[in-house]
Amino acid sequence: MLNKHDRERIFKIVLAFSLVLILFFGFAFASLFGVNPEDILNSGFTSGTPSEFALNNIPPDILQYCKEAQDRFNVSWAILAAICSVESNFQTDLVNPTPVNGEHATGPMQFLPSTFNECVSEYKKETGDTRNFDINSKEDSIFIAGYYLKKLGFDKDPNKALTVYGGGNKTLTVTRFGRTFTGSYSTIIQQIADLFSEQVMPLGSIDYSKYPEIIQREMAIANDLVNKQIPYVYGGGHGQIALGYNPDQNHGLDCSSFVAYIIYHATGDSSWDTTADVQYKKCTPISVDQLQPGDLLFYSSTGSVNNITHVAIYVGGGYMAQEHHKGLPAEYSKLNLNAGWFVAAGRP
């Protein structure tokens, strides 16, 4: 028969083993279903409609060349425009006076001549293209920059590709458009790109087969609304979601009816046909590292959960779907966790 001391030892061993199992399966579950913080910036994307800020600040010819490069290489036009802004402030025939390994960065995208020539050579070899490319040409340099970022793996890891393009990960300070940006090269480029277009389209597809069938249905419905570019209309569909409301024909959705439409058509639950603040109260609170597709993201213009003004639905891979608070059509956006705007996450 075990004495008291032996029983205590056995209890401690069992308790320690149980804690190890809990931690192991907890991390496994988080890696399977939760959001990996690295995913927030480590998933390739293209950009959608230019913002008014972009139209007012990007020269029209450069905007067009960036869009053409996106069409060819699946690299965000807004990223390319941001690089052109940071590197040369949209200027041509610019030569950086500071040499790198004996070379001077040149042109609108500030290529080292050896890198530019290597990219041109590889592109010609891959495609059979015989035209000449000029490092000082806006069209040519942006086109080759798109090719270079694709070659660097932008579709898999934009952070890594931009870090290589920018020559490292040191902290920089850049002033453009009357604003000062501080951070790594990759961070600054993505901050400016977000000013040009918050609308993004994730490259590739997320495997939803590991998730419950309800989540798979929700993601399919969200994707359908985004692909149809359902317009934003304040109050659109409210009180009618369960009555056969068709956003294609009946003038769109707003942020909360967008969420309600997705949940109702995936689950049959019409109680989510309400405002964003009530949707917040209906959710089970979760932390950002617990996010999985189908979870809701809540925002406030005052930075307070007592004044919810916007809601979006998380779709995985560091992206969310929403009817935009600025009145744009249904869209995918990079996960926005900016302090003072993002206030909570919840599970319906």
Q: What's the confidence (pLDDT) of residue 23? A: 40
Nearest alpha-carbon partner for 164 in 186, 140, 188: 186
Residue 342 one-letter amino acid: F
Give the span between the Cα atoms of 57 and 50, in whole angstroms: 11
Nearest alpha-carbon partner for 316 in 237, 206, 197: 206
**Spans of the chain, pLDDT less than 70:** 1-43, 204-205, 249-250, 325-327
Residue 58 vs residues 11, 89, 90, 137, 191: alpha-carbon distances, Å: 68, 10, 8, 16, 15
What DSSP assignment string belongs to 152-194? Answer: TTTTT-HHHHHHHHTTS---EEEEETTEEEEE-HHHHHHHHHH
Structural contact between residues 316 and 277, judged by C-beta atoms closer than 8 angstroms: no
Over residues 243-252, the pLDDT tens digits come to 989 998 667 9
What is the CA 228 to chain-centroid distance, rounded?
19
Identify the three-state secondary structure at position 155: coil
Beta bridge partners of 232: 253
Q: Using alpha carbons only, what angle is made at residue 341 by residues 206 and 203, rounded to the nearest 5 degrees? A: 20
What is the CA 77 to chain-centroid distance, rounded?
14
Q: What's the confidence (pLDDT) of residue 166? A: 94
Over residues 67-92, the pLDDT tens digits come to 999 999 999 999 999 999 999 999 98
Give the span between the Cα atoms of 226 and 221, in whole angstroms: 9
Give the span between the Cα atoms of 188 and 86, in whole angstroms: 9
Residue 306 one-letter amino acid: N
Structural contact between residues 79 and 69, judged by C-beta atoms closer than 8 angstroms: no
Structural contact between residues 333 and 326, judged by C-beta atoms closer than 8 angstroms: no
**Other Cβ atoms within 10 Å of 337 Cβ, number:** 13
Beta bridge partners of 296: 313, 346
Give the span between the Cα atoms of 297 and 311, in whole angstroms: 6
Q: What's the confidence (pLDDT) of residue 25? A: 41
Nearest alpha-carbon partner for 291 in 265, 325, 317: 317
Contacts for 249 with CB less than 8 Å, ≥ 6 apart: none
Give the span between the Cα atoms of 333 and 297, in whole angstroms: 12
Give the span between the Cα atoms of 241 and 185, in whole angstroms: 45
Q: What's the confidence (pLDDT) of residue 295? A: 98
Q: What's the confidence (pLDDT) of residue 43? A: 60
Core vs surface per residue 36-71: b (16+ CB within 10 A) or e: eeebbbebbbbbbebbeebeebbeeebbebbbbbbe
Give the span between the Cα atoms of 330 and 224, in whole angstroms: 10
Give the span between the Cα atoms of 91 and 312, in whole angstroms: 38
Give the span between the Cα atoms of 301 and 255, in whole angstroms: 14
Tokens found for residue 244:
């056969």
Give the span between the Cα atoms of 115 and 307, in whole angstroms: 51
Q: What's the confidence (pLDDT) of residue 232? A: 92
